[in-house]
Structure 1
Amino acid sequence: MLIKRQGRSWYHWFAATDTPEERKLLLKLDLLIVPYAFIGFWINYIDSSNINNAWVAGLSEDLGFHGNELVDFQTIYQVGSVIGQIPFAFLFPKLPMNWLIPGMELFWGVFTLLQFRANSYSELMAYRFLIGLFEAPFFVGVHFVLGSWYRADEIGRRGGIFYIGLTLGSLTASLIQSAASANLEGVAGLAGWRWQFIIVSLMTFVVAIAGFFIWPGTPDIPNKLFLSDAELSLARKRMADNGTGSNVDTNTNTAVPKVNLALLKSIFTDWKIYTLTIWDILFWNSDPQPWGGYLLWLKSLNRFSTSSVNRIGSSSPGLGIAYVLFINFSSDLWLGRTNSIILAHVVNIASMTILVVWTVPESALWFAFNIYYFDIAMSSVLYGWANDILRHRKEERAITLIIMNTAPTAIRAWIGLLVFKTVDSPRFTKGYSYCLANSIAIIPWTLLVRYLHKRYEKRIIGEPSDSEDRGVEQVSYAAAKSERDVLGPVTGHL
């Protein structure tokens, strides 16, 4: 059986078929999940990207770095992130997310703070590795929680608001460093770039502590501080109707089998894990902004002060906020997932082409750097779509989301050493060419994902699903097949 969903105008937050009780629940979930996810990601990205701001604010000169140290710091952070993600594929469905995610945030805040005292290459490398290690579960953990509470036609906009934290984090890191350089240089004998690490770590501790109380966990292991039993029951029913797998079979109230060899075999002999992971690799590797190209280019112009470089460098992520909102709201309510992803990468292809050519009017370079956040604007569309494809089995969803995120992180951990070498700045010809190739490749791959998703839904329920595009149809999983039916006899092959 399919539950038909009516389309809606772009300004309608709820669907016409949502009951008053559902709307009240969604509003409460939005207040508990989305603000903390957004603020947490904001802090997360400040703490992960501020090494670029500190570098152009005097860190390189103060510590005598004149080679590839910046890309080394970026790389060791990625290495920590890869190692840190591996255990969480199995921990997400088993531990309270309102303890796991804020707890990790406290730890990375400690090592963000310790960067202020760094006086050597090896010391800063160690701190960057540990920040990456403890930040590792945050991004995927948020998407796991979003996919545990929201349907396919609801997740894009919430994920988009969450993802604004990245662009706002880049913007804020630039503005904090600009203010620290202008007002705190030399205070208490500390350089302005050292003060930045102190300020943002204190912000991190506040957000982490709030998360222990606000973050609602998942419907299976909830934080009941703000949610009643009736609301939890309604949330579980909504997700059961959506076909989202649970640790509990709502029909028999018995536990669904945990991770075992049969489950792992079905996951790793299935198209989903490979197709989605390659998709995410193409996405991650089409993104140039982690390597700080815009800031390094501004510094190379030799016409702006240290504080001005960081202040002007905030323009690109500032515009990125609008790009993120446009792409993600369009995904749910207007363009659909496929067209939103294609649009984001058409713009990115234009940006990367200009940066590869490079010998263009300076105004064209300003334009290219200020539109290259269009690429990452579609992140929550991709992860929301993956959540929808994987919704039938909770354990599979956790494992696949982690592998999806770990594989591109592992590639990013070394690719920068090859194509984004600090000594090549500000013109990263190899790097921008690499991003351009991945951005071109992701468009046909997205069409492949759409085709395979529709075929997969048809195989399960007997007719195609249109949820890929507008969230028009949602599967009643209990009416189609039980979780154990899918997990048992089906091996994962098409």
Structure 2
Amino acid sequence: MSADTPFKRMKWGFLPRRRIVDEDEDGNFVDMDQISQKLSSNDVNSEKNSEIIVNENDESTGIVYEYRDETNRPWWKFFDEYEYRVKTEVKNNRKWYHWFHEDDTKLEKKLITKLDILLCFYSLIAYWVKYLDTVNLVNGYLAGMPLPKDQGGINMVGNDLIDTQVIFNIGTVLFQIPFMYCIYAYPLSYVLPAMDIAWSILTVLTAEVKNTGQLQAVRFLIGVFESGFYVAYHSLLASWYRSSTGELARRAGAYYIGQYMGVLTSGLISGGIERVFGGVPGQSWRWIFRIDGILSIVVGLIGFYVIPGTPADCYSIFLTDDEIRAARRRMIKDNVGFRPRKDVFKQFFDWKLWKTIFSSWHFYVLSIWCIFLWNNASGPAGAYALWLQSLTKADGTARYVGGQLQELTSLTPSLGLLYLILVCMFADLFKSRWGAIVISQILNLTGNLMLAIWDLPEGAKWFAWCLQYFSWSAAPVVYAFQGDICRFDHRQRQVLLVSMNIIAQTFSIWISRLIWPTVEAPRYLKGFSTITAFTFMLIVWTILVLYLYKRQERAHAKENGIIFINDQSDEEVVVSK
């Protein structure tokens, strides 16, 4: 058997080990400076508009610079998101209907294809089962958890549902703080599958709880083990895929499909279970947790072998040495920093790093942006499902019961799946992440406002509910945007990614407890009014982020291969790296 087969790349014959490629005994990369200097030697740019004067090859580095005159720059160029991020040739070569960029080599296309299978597709499946284990609480609630104990339930009453969801979120938020270091220092190809298996076992054990207190304790622990999931996969995607060529937004969108699939199939699975066990008291909701947990355990075990780590610290048994080298070159070309090779602990807790983070606009602006994103939806509260449950026939009996009720909860996430694809395609087709966010949130604002008004014909409410998942459709674009904004320093990117998520979820915990009390279902006046306001602010804040992002990219234009001439306003504030 060849020494370079996947089986030979595993420790003890079953666990993937770190791949050593072009590194010295201290783990430092060999000749990476020379590689980074020659990356753009073959780039060719042509004159595309009046702003671009000439392209010139810098012989010292081999980089072809694009020279621009911005004297008569039109006002509408403010909305050109990639104006300073990439050279005109790279931007114009991006075709939304091409999966690969025109500049990708044969080796890079092979690498990207492998990553799409190993990382992108697996992250979709992992997010699917993760969300099965998250939203099954609402389905379990509909399937009989509020029933008295002698009828097979656990006697959930009053605000027990929203309180249990809040306790889950508290576990998620608290343990993201130590995970901020784990995501930076430890191999995610080990950490993520182990955490997946842990919360999956707890999901199975949820079927055995006897009262609300036990349920809340188990859900807290599930939140603990799920704490790093969301940000970890966004970090992995940003470590392998390039933002400048549109790769990252597409893959973040594909990853996010898993969330919608989780919500959608959870209703379908729960409906099927309800039809099978509906006649046996207390069995439907218990089997919902058992089946979801078993599926998650299987996916977690697969994760040990398909999660590739990062280009700098690769654990993949399927990538060749040349593909790992190509991955590193690609990310250097995109100005993406790597994790320090030594003194990892010391460099992470370097006070200069934290001073830089807390003195930058990134921390404050992006955290507030994320707060608006996390609080613009009614989906997490189960508002749509509780509205369906409240509908009655002419004789006053419930209109939807059993499996029919569970299956109808899949309507809005199935539409959301379509919205997600359209929003991510828009971001790539029109080279406008900010535009995709704004348009999706205008539609979300429309639905939220209609539900806040509430006194509308039932058909109008159905229409408003069908717009519900435009709220989450912008999330992959927002997180991909964040990864691009904070790409220069690996440490800062990881800290900012986790910290903005922690802050947003912390706000979401107390806000959701205030505006989504279960006893106010399905009207939720406070809830729908609040998310309408947050959606509006998300739109406004996105424009601010666009302005600050363009200012940053203009300051780093030379690193992006762009030099300005005859510039009368070159007084931009250079953000720290």
Q: Compute the TM-score of the two structures, normalised by the length of structure 1.
A: 0.91
Alignment partner of 1:415 is 2:501: no
Corresponding residue to 1:15 among 97, 101, 121: 101
Secondary structure in 2 matching 1:258: helix
1:85-484 to structure 2, matched below 5 A, reads 85-152=176-243, 153-185=246-278, 190-247=282-339, 258-259=347-348, 260-301=350-391, 302-334=398-430, 336-462=432-558, 475=560
Larger RCO, structure (CA 8 Å, separation 6 or more): 1
CA distance in 1, matches of 2:420, 2:399: 31
Corresponding residue to 2:165 among 61, 74, 79: 74
Gaps (5+ residues) in structure 1?
A: 463-473, 480-489
CA distance in 1, matches of 2:172, 2:545: 26
Alignment partner of 1:45 is 2:131: yes
Cα RMSD for the two superposed structures: 2.1
Gaps (5+ residues) in structure 2?
A: 1-64, 66-85, 148-152, 392-397, 564-572
- Verify the 8 A CA contact 1:60 1:66 in the aligned structure 2: yes
Over residues 461-493 of structure 1, what are the superposed CA-to-partner deviations in whole Å (9 max), with x where a residue is unaligned? 35xxxxxxxxxxx9369x9xxxxxxxxxx9957
Secondary structure in 2 matching 1:223: coil
Alignment partner of 1:33 is 2:122: no
CA distance in 1, matches of 2:410, 2:339: 43
Q: CA deviation at 1:273?
A: 1.1
CA distance in 1, matches of 2:537, 2:270: 36
- Verify the 8 A CA contact 1:220 1:248 in the aligned structure 2: no
Over residues 264-296 of structure 1, what are the superposed CA-to-partner deviations in whole Å (9 max), with x where a residue is unaligned? 111111111111110010111112110001100
CA distance in 2, matches of 1:294, 1:449: 32
CA distance in 2, matches of 1:68, 1:144: 35
Number of the residue aligned with 1:470: none
Secondary structure in 2 matching 1:221: coil
- Verify the 8 A CA contact 2:260 2:414 in the aligned structure 1: yes
Secondary structure in 1 matching 2:196: helix
Alignment partner of 1:57 is 2:57: no
Number of the residue aligned with 2:13: none
Task: Considering fraction of residues, name the structure with more helix.
Answer: 1
- Verify the 8 A CA contact 2:172 2:223 in the aligned structure 1: yes
Q: CA deviation at 1:118?
A: 1.1
- In the alignment of these two chains, the number of paired residues is 468
Q: CA deviation at 1:298?
A: 0.5
- Verify the 8 A CA contact 1:269 1:493 in the aligned structure 2: no
CA distance in 2, matches of 1:438, 1:190: 39
Secondary structure in 2 matching 1:461: coil
Which sits farther off after the overlay, 334-343 or 262-271? 334-343
Over residues 78-115 of structure 1, what are the superposed CA-to-partner deviations in whole Å (9 max), with x where a residue is unaligned? 10110121112222121111111111101111111111
CA distance in 1, matches of 2:127, 2:561: 33
- Verify the 8 A CA contact 1:71 1:291 in the aligned structure 2: yes
Amino acid of the structure 1 residue aligned with 2:503: A
Percent same amino acid at aligned positions?
A: 36
Amino acid of the structure 2 residue aligned with 1:22: E
Q: Compute the TM-score of the two structures, normalised by the length of structure 2.
A: 0.78
Which sits farther off after the overlay, 380-389 or 16-25? 16-25
